[in-house]
């Protein structure tokens, strides 16, 4: 097989339509043909999208400031460890050299078996595979991915598994009755959070992502799935698997509920702007903006502006304490 599309087409031919989480898993993470596993770099100008991690050095310096604050909150433990979950290109590493820093991603890196410190993630949860439910004329069905005319298409499948009934009911109650709804089921979220929390003996999980609280879901009757390619949003997430990113907004209310069920204590969900302001304010952003010359100073001020005003109100940050 030469591509994720060929693999998925063969799987559907042999077994019939597949859950969307299976489609997304292969499209993004197949060891050879997955979008995030292939040699092509998806990040930055020549790729498909930017994350805050490409705004260096300012983002890295502010995250380092956060880590110093968190280390102090833990009483300066001798071995304070940072584990970055879903590190992507790894741009943060050079800004975290004052700490023991472990970077892991799908198929590479690992966390120490037990540690005190911080598990950090930026845009991890929005990249986790989800399933999809359609509610039409009052009937909720799992939507599967099938094949038609040489392409991938949505096809209604079996009823929604029992474990998701309460979730679906809560979401359905947000919308006027009778409206057709498409809802993503965050089927990998709890296990991923549990894996992040497991080796952490004492400390924090800090995560930055874009998403919504349950009341805000009213804005998305057709769900939040989206693909990105060459810096353009693409609505057809079934197109060209392996060649474009696929994301789903993070359901923060559910993330908080999962955290509580794992014994983690949530702090309030805040905007990225507020999170970065709290990181930079103690020295009035002096260390984040330290530059060798005027040209560099201007570049760094523009980075800070992009972080605070470009991404800052879209992205949110939540911290959990263990
Ligand atoms: C949108 S990218 C963000 C990368 C980086 N944090 C940044 O800010 O540029 C999402 C990353 O999460 C990784 N990822 C997805 N699921 C993961 C998992 N279960 N464990 C570790 N990394 C994962 C992907 O491979 C990808 O590198």
Give mean pLDDT, residues 283-299. Answer: 96
Give the pLDDT of residue 49: 82
In a domain, 102, yes or no: yes
Pull the structure tokens for residue 217: 């879901």
Give the pLDDT of residue 50: 84
Q: Is 82 in the pocket of ligand 1 (CB under 6 A)?
A: no
Q: Is 87 in the pocket of ligand 1 (CB under 6 A)?
A: yes
**Domain span at 81:** 1-129+187-214+250-322
Which one-letter DSSP state was computed for residue 227?
E
Pull the structure tokens for residue 125: 């949860």
Atom 11 of ligand 1: nearest residue by CA position: 86
- Confirm if 318 and 256 have CB atoms less than 8 A apart: yes
Total number of domains in the chain:
1
Kindly give the distance from the C-alpha atom of residue 164 to the centroid of ligand 1, in angstroms, as a whole number: 25
Range scoring the smallest mean pLDDT among 46-55, 67-76, 148-157, 179-188: 46-55
CA torsion, points 119, 125, 126, 127, in degrees to nearest 10?
A: 90
In a domain, 232, yes or no: no
Rounded to whole angstroms, the Cα distance separating 262 from 21 reads: 23
In a domain, 146, yes or no: no
Q: Which regions of 178-269 does DSSP assign to beta strands (E)? A: 181-185, 200-212, 226-229, 232-234, 245-247, 250-251, 265-266
Q: Alpha carbon of 175 to those of 78, 293, 313: distances in Å?
A: 51, 54, 25
Give mean pLDDT, residues 210-228. Answer: 95
178: number of Cβ within 10 Å: 10
Q: Is 127 in the pocket of ligand 1 (CB under 6 A)?
A: yes
Pull the structure tokens for residue 84: 């970055």
Rounded to whole angstroms, the Cα distance separating 185 from 189 reads: 9
Pull the structure tokens for residue 148: 């038609």
| Residues 6 or more apart in contact with residue 111 via CB below 8 angstroms | 83, 85, 102, 104, 119, 199
Q: Is 26 in the pocket of ligand 1 (CB under 6 A)?
A: no
CATH of residue 84's domain is 3.40.50.12710
In a domain, 143, yes or no: no
To test the pocket of ligand 1, the residue of 106, 120, 189, 208 to mutate (highest count of ligand atoms within 8 Å of its CB) is 106
Cα–Cα nearest to 28, from 14, 13, 44, 8: 8
Higher pLDDT, 72 or 41: 72
Give the pLDDT of residue 8: 98
pLDDT tens track for 254-267: 999 999 999 999 99
Rounded to whole angstroms, the Cα distance separating 94 from 101 reads: 10
Q: Return the residue matching tokens 């359609």.
A: 134
Rounded to whole angstroms, the Cα distance separating 260 from 163 reads: 18
1 has a pLDDT exceeding 80:
no
ω into 57 cis (within 30 of 0): yes
Give the pLDDT of residue 260: 98
| Residues 6 or more apart in contact with residue 201 via CB below 8 angstroms | 114, 115, 116, 322
Q: Is 124 in the pocket of ligand 1 (CB under 6 A)?
A: yes
Give mean pLDDT, residues 73-91. Answer: 96
In a domain, 150, yes or no: no
Give the pLDDT of residue 47: 84
Kindly give the distance from the C-alpha atom of residue 232 to the centroid of ligand 1, in angstroms, as a whole number: 20
What is the overall mean pLDDT for the chain? 96
Which one-letter DSSP state was computed for residue 267?
P
Kindly give the distance from the C-alpha atom of residue 175 to the centroid of ligand 1, in angstroms, as a whole number: 32
Give the pLDDT of residue 40: 85
In a domain, 24, yes or no: yes
pLDDT tens track for 20-71: 999 999 999 999 999 999 888 888 888 888 899 889 999 999 999 999 999 9
Q: Is 210 in the pocket of ligand 1 (CB under 6 A)?
A: no
In a domain, 96, yes or no: yes
pLDDT tens track for 101-149: 999 999 999 999 999 999 999 999 999 999 999 999 989 999 999 999 9
Kindly give the distance from the C-alpha atom of residue 313 to the centroid of ligand 1, in angstroms, as a whole number: 21
In a domain, 40, yes or no: yes
Give mean pLDDT, residues 86-99. Answer: 96
Kindly give the distance from the C-alpha atom of residue 137 to the centroid of ligand 1, in angstroms, as a whole number: 37
Q: Is 186 in the pocket of ligand 1 (CB under 6 A)?
A: no
Q: Which regions of 105-159 does DSSP assign to beta strands (E)? A: 115-122, 131-136, 139-148, 151-159
Give mean pLDDT, residues 144-158. Answer: 97
């Amino acid at each position: 097989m030469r591509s994720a599309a060929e693999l998925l087409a063969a799987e559907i031919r042999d077994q019939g339509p597949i859950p969307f989480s299976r489609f997304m898993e292969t499209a993004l993470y197949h060891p050879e043909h997955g979008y995030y596993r292939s040699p092509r770099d998806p990040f930055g100008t020549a790729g498909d999208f930017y994350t805050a991690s490409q705004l260096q050095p300012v983002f890295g310096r502010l995250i380092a400031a956060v880590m110093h604050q968190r280390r102090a909150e833990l009483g300066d433990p001798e071995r304070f460890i940072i584990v970055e979950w879903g590190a992507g290109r790894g741009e943060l590493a050079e800004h975290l050299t004052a700490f023991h820093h472990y970077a892991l991603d799908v198929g590479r890196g690992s966390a120490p078996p037990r540690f005190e410190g911080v598990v950090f993630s930026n845009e991890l949860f929005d990249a986790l595979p989800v399933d999809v439910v359609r509610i039409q004329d009052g009937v909720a069905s799992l939507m599967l991915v099938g094949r038609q005319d040489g392409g991938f298409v949505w096809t209604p499948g079996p009823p929604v598994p029992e474990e998701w009934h309460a979730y679906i009911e809560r979401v359905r109650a947000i919308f006027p009755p009778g409206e057709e709804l498409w809802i993503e089921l965050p089927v990998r979220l709890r296990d991923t959070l549990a894996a992040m929390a497991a080796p952490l003996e004492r400390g924090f999980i800090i995560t930055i992502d874009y998403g919504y609280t349950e009341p805000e879901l009213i804005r998305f009757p057709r769900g939040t799935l989206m693909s990105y390619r060459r810096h353009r949003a693409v609505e057809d997430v079934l197109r060209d698997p392996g060649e474009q990113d696929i994301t789903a907004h993070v359901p923060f209310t559910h993330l908080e509920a999962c955290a509580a069920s794992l014994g983690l204590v949530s702090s309030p969900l805040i905007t990225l702007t507020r999170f970065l302001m709290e990181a930079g304010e103690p020295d009035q952003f002096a260390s984040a903006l330290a530059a060798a010359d005027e040209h560099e100073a201007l570049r760094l001020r523009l980075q800070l502006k992009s972080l605070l005003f470009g991404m800052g109100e879209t992205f949110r940050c939540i911290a959990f304490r263990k």
